[in-house]
Structures are given as structure tokens and as C-alpha cells.
A and B are shown apart, each in its own frame.
Chain A
């Protein structure tokens, strides 16, 4: 919202020509080359998610078969690896990840009503066996990384009598990690199968750019500005961030920026260069480095940074770097390319 003035200024022309509208249907599809690259880069990200999710499932089984503090730590590490693999591709909001609300299945967030904890409590008190079908019908708050995070990290739960490795909690852990692994595998396969439609439909060029724009905006506004108290009631609250239970909010932000750099930027920079926007492409690439330079210093829990004004400063630096990246991609580059993500188009009704 605050960028509106800038956006209005830049979008002085009423008729910025969208990428897809610029071409006659019978002419060759000049943006197919970028989608070819994106398809490959995104597939790599999805395959990594599938592999890491598989490892998490297998480790959850190992831990529950012979529980120990070492195996628990190993499970937490593999949860984080898989969760970060998801963060890398989280910006993709179209294609097979839309089917059956898969993105929501991987990560139900935000969760202001704490449905993850409520659903866990309900499932653990229930006596019906925790089957794949049971997980399948229990809704998105049960089916993804936040539920596993709850079981592994939630302080109240960890000190309760149901804490891992209690039998039913272990059943839930194994069942949910299996669900995540199945979804990871299906998503990677479906993305491969989506290749024909993706490469054959020019509108997916705009769609892919919009997905990255949305990913940056969500990162800036909802994953950083809101917990930092820069929005809404102005209060800092780690509970507004994602992955607060594991303290992984910021390392997840790091992974999401890395993901955009790895799976979106290569083809996007090429597109900008081909449109004669070489300076802008270079500035965007540099700004990605600026944002990432805040890490690994900031790969730590967000909560202590919010409670101390001195510790808050590196977080502010990250936020400022990210707003500049978002402005370059969402305002400058997108406007040059005629791609719009607006008040109505991004979340309509």
C-alpha cells in the first residue's frame, strides 16, 4: 500500500502492454524460452522438496521405532531441511501446487486461531487410529510442516504427558511426515507433467512473474513487517511470524530469498536483459546479494530480536534491504514489463 504513490508515478501510461498481449497468436512465442528455464529451475526446487520430505519421513519412522534424544535432534534437523526446501519454492502459487490446496497443505499459515495446536489436541485425544485417510480428511492445519513443528518444538506440548515419543504422538508424527513426503513426490511429478501446458501457454510468463512478486510482498509485509510491529496495532509479536515455535522464521525468510534467486531470478534477469533493461537486471541481482548478506548473521530466532531495541537493528536492516528488492522487482521491473499485481488482481472477490 505504501508503495502506491511510487507505483502510480511509474505507471503513468494507461496502456502498458502486457507481455502476452504484445504478440499475435500466430507469431512465435517469444517468452517460451524463459518458461523453459523456469520450468527446469522450479523442477529442481520441487525435486529437492521431494527428497528432503522423504528423508524427514524416514527419520520420523527411525525415531519412533527407537526413540532417543539424538534421533529427536536428527528429526528436528531434517524437519528444518525439508521446511527450508519448501521455503525455496513457496513463492510458486500456480500450477500443480494449486490442486487440492497443496500449498496450504504444506504450510497452513497464518494461523491466528492456533488451529494447529487445537487440531493436534483433538487428534491426540481421539481414539480412532491415525491412518493416512484420517490425515487426508483432517484439513490443512494438520497436513504439513507446522503440525510437525508443533509436535517437535511446542513448549507446552513438549512438557505434557502426550509429548513425543508417546505412542499416539509418534503415530501422528509419522503419518504427517508421510503425508508431506507423498505431497512432495506428487508435486514434483505433476510439475513435470505440467511442462506441456506451462511451455505452451504464454500467460504463464506473467503468472510466474506475479508469483515472485507476491512471494516478495508476503515476505516483506506478512512475514517481516507484521511481526516487527510495523503494521496493524504496531506491537511486535513473534506469534505473527511463521515458524515461531522452532525459531525458524528468519532462516525460512533467508531460504525464500535464496529460492527466488535460484528458481526465479535466472530466467527473469535474462528476460530483463533481452528487453534492454540491463541496468535494472544488474541492480536486482545486486539487491538479492544485499538482502542475502544479512544472513547467516540473522539465521536465528526472531523473538529475542523483537524484545531488545539493539538486537532489533539487524532485523530493520534486513527489512529495508528487502523493501528495496521488492520495489525493484514489483514496481520497477514489473511495470517495465507490463505485469501488474494490484489491489484487486492479487486477492480479488
Chain B
């Protein structure tokens, strides 16, 4: 299954460790000693049908809401600054740069002609370069678009992914390697969200050098319809990928994969758990302080925490329309739902609702 290309990734993986500070999207939580702001930001739908980006304190209190033109999906904090970016949901024609303390809009950057964003992005550790997965939709090519925040988010580079349908991107703790979920699904904005190539999908977990754009590794899931959408990396360099299966609902394939020590392997939670996940995972987060990983499935209405060492599911909650997951400073996780709930769960702690508000949280908290 692992299909290593061009370079051996081992070195990068082993090198990526404690020495480097955590930065960029997917590198939560907000630790007491962290430079990141003590808040989580997510895209929301409001009761009147409009959309916003909202920030909450770890306690669940809403800090600010910034109106946006259309539904957003995810985003990223810009390291070393008080800026948070949010991308319009696929097909995303723009991203917003907001003041992370107030929600005030600083920039509104539109996609280049013939391209759309897919809802995700990540910064270089120094906070200068933004790496955004993009669909170049006429030829149906996935790329990573590079923007320079020091030049008002001017487009400065383009990296080819040699594949279709990139989705989430995150930064490896080595500060050098981009980790990309390549969903494999061909779409075109003229055709709504129709999946145009289900029989011939080639999803993959892709590792890319953030400076050269070289593809360092490409791992294929065990079935060609396991759309590899969401990714995260633990501080020790273990990479996680979460799938969304495009085949029939009665088939229950593995939905989570892990890459470490040179091995790419899928984690099987057993049939009954897979059934509760509805073949769909919207978020995967490895906790930086322990060996726990959390996933959420809005389709299955299930969030769970598993032990990375044993693969054992240690906590599971039924949370309607849950999608977003973030790591809390004390080793627990925060789960958000499309029904306005914020739920805290962790080892020995089944889901406890800490807030409920009249908003619909989209997939991700950053």
C-alpha cells in the first residue's frame, strides 16, 4: 500500500520533533505556554440563513462573529500574528483574512481565474507563506497555491500535486513538509458538487516539500474510493489521514490511516464502530499532549477518541451533526456540531456539553 516516491520520508519524520515550535493550522491546542491565541475559530451558519466566522474561548463563550458573504469551511491561524484566515467552502472563490482578536476583516483575497479553493490552508512556520490547496477546474488538476502575506497575499508559486481533489493541508512539525489529503474526486463548479470520476478515483496522502514543491511521498488507501480528505500530524511526526468512503453504505472499510516509522497502515475499529461512523469522517485531530486521537462524523452523528498506541476506541459519544474537533490544553478534546453544541470529551470522560448556541458550526475549529 505505501508507495514512496522520490525521497525517503523517514528522515524528515524522525527529525520532526520537540525542538521545533508548533505553528500553523492543525497544531492546536492552545497550551498555556503557547503563543497561539486562547481561542478557536470556526465557520458558522446563522439562523437567518446568513454566514459568519466566529471565535470562541476554550470555555465555549463566543468572543466575536464576523459576517462573510458565503459559507466558509476551515482556515488557519497565521503564526506570530493576530490574523486568522478562513476559506469559502468548496468551490471557494475567496478567503478572508481577519483580525483574530476582533474579527475585523483585513483582506478578502479572490481565487485566481480558473481556480477555486477547497476550504483549507496552512502557513509556513514563520507566518509568511500561505499554502492553499486549489482545484484548477478546467483540466481538473489539484495544486498547492502559494501566497506571500508580506506582499498583500500575492500569489508567488504553484506546486503540482499530480492528482485530483486536494482537501486539507497541514504542516509537519519539521516545518518543511506539507501534508495534504488528496481526495481524488473530480468536480467542476458548473456541475454543482457532482462527483465526476468515482470509478477512477486515485486518492492519496501526499507529502510535499514546502519550498521546492517536490512530492516526497504518496500513500494510497486500500480502496480507490476511500477519499483521503482530512489530515493531522502529532508532534512526534506521526501522520494521520481520515477517509470518506464513496462506495455503498453497507460496505464498512477502515476510515483512518496512520504513517509512522516508514509504515502506512489503516486502523480498523471493527464493524460496529465503522457503522456508527457512516463511512465519513469530517475531522481528525491528534492531541499534542498525549497519545489520543479524536475523530468526528456528522453522517454517523458520532465522535470518538482512540488510543494511538493500541488503536482502541476509548470514548465515544452520539453527537448529532458533529464535525469539528480541537485539542484542549488539559488533554481533552472539544467537539463542535452543526446544531450549535460544543462538547468536551477525553479519556474517561464521555461527551459533556459545555455550550449550546443558535449557530451551526461547519466542519473545523482552528
Contact = CB atoms under 8 A, between A and B. Distances in A.
Interface of A: 1-2, 4-5, 7-8, 11, 14-18, 20-21, 25, 94-95, 98, 100-101, 104, 108, 110, 113, 115, 139-141, 197-198, 200-204, 207, 231, 340, 342-345, 347-349
Given A94-B249, A349-B89, A340 B193 contact: no
A95 B247 CA distance: 9
Contacts of A95: 248
A22 B67 CA distance: 40
A103 B358 CA distance: 34
A47 to B, nearest CB: 21
Contacts of B167: 349
Contacts of B116: none
A94 B248 CA distance: 8
Interface string B261-280: 00000000001100110101
A56 to B, nearest CB: 24
B327 to A, nearest CB: 20
A343 B340 CA distance: 10
B194 A101 contact: yes
A203 B299 CA distance: 11
23 contacts: A1-B45, A1-B360, A4-B340, A4-B360, A11-B339, A14-B317, A14-B353, A15-B317, A15-B318, A17-B318, A18-B301, A100-B199, A140-B191, A201-B250, A340-B321, A342-B321, A344-B282, A344-B337, A344-B338, A345-B278, A348-B244, A349-B73, A349-B229
Q: Which of A1, A201, A343 has the most CB of B within 10 A?
A: A343
B321 A8 contact: no
A140 B320 contact: no
Given A201-B250, A342-B337, A343-B360, 4 more contacts: A15-B319, A104-B191, A140-B191, A203-B278
Pick the 5 closest A-B CB pairs, nearest first: A342-B321, A343-B338, A344-B298, A201-B250, A345-B298
A108 B49 CA distance: 25
Nearest to B319: A14
Contacts of B191: 104, 108, 115, 139-141
Contact of A344 (B194, B272, B362): B362
Contact of A113 (B89, B190, B299): B190
B21 interface: no
Q: Is the interface of A mostly helix, strand, loop or mixed?
A: loop
Interface in B318-360: 318-323, 337-341, 343, 351, 353, 356, 358, 360
A344 B283 CA distance: 11
B323 A14 contact: no
B134 to A, nearest CB: 15
A20 B190 contact: no
Contacts of B353: 14
B298 A342 contact: yes
B249 A343 contact: no
B162 interface: no
B90 interface: yes
B47 interface: yes
A343 B321 contact: yes
Q: Which of A16, A340, A347, A349 has the most CB of B within 10 A?
A: A349
Contacts of B343: 14
Nearest to B92: A349
Contacts, number: 135
Contacts of A197: 248, 250
B119 interface: yes
B192 interface: yes
B107 interface: no
Interface of B: 45-49, 73, 89-90, 118-119, 167, 190-196, 198-199, 229, 244, 248-250, 271-272, 275-276, 278, 280, 282, 298-299, 301, 317-323, 337-341, 343, 351, 353, 356, 358, 360-363
A348 B358 contact: no
A348 B363 contact: yes
Given A14-B343, A203-B278, A349-B73, A342 B320 contact: yes
B318 A348 contact: no
B346 to A, nearest CB: 16
B230 to A, nearest CB: 10
A201 B249 contact: yes
Contacts of A108: 191
A25 B318 CA distance: 18
A203 B363 contact: no
Contacts of A344: 282, 298, 321-323, 337-338, 360-363
A343 B250 contact: no
A11 B321 CA distance: 11
Contacts of B271: 25
Nearest to B360: A343
B90 A349 contact: yes
Contacts of A139: 191
A165 to B, nearest CB: 30
A11 B276 CA distance: 19
A11 B356 CA distance: 11
A127 B299 CA distance: 47
A236 B244 CA distance: 38
A140 B298 contact: no
Contact of A340 (B198, B276, B320): B320
Contacts of B46: 1
B73 to A, nearest CB: 6
B49 A2 contact: yes
B249 A349 contact: no
B337 to A, nearest CB: 8
Contacts of A345: 278, 280, 298-299, 301, 321, 338
A342 B250 contact: no
B358 A8 contact: yes
Contact of A101 (B47, B195, B248, B322): B195
Given A345-B299, A349-B73, A349-B167, A11 B249 contact: no
Nearest to B188: A139
A14 B118 CA distance: 31
Contacts of A348: 244, 280, 282, 298-299, 323, 363
A343 B278 contact: no
Nearest to A194: B248
Contacts of A14: 317-320, 341, 343, 351, 353
Contacts of A340: 301, 320-321
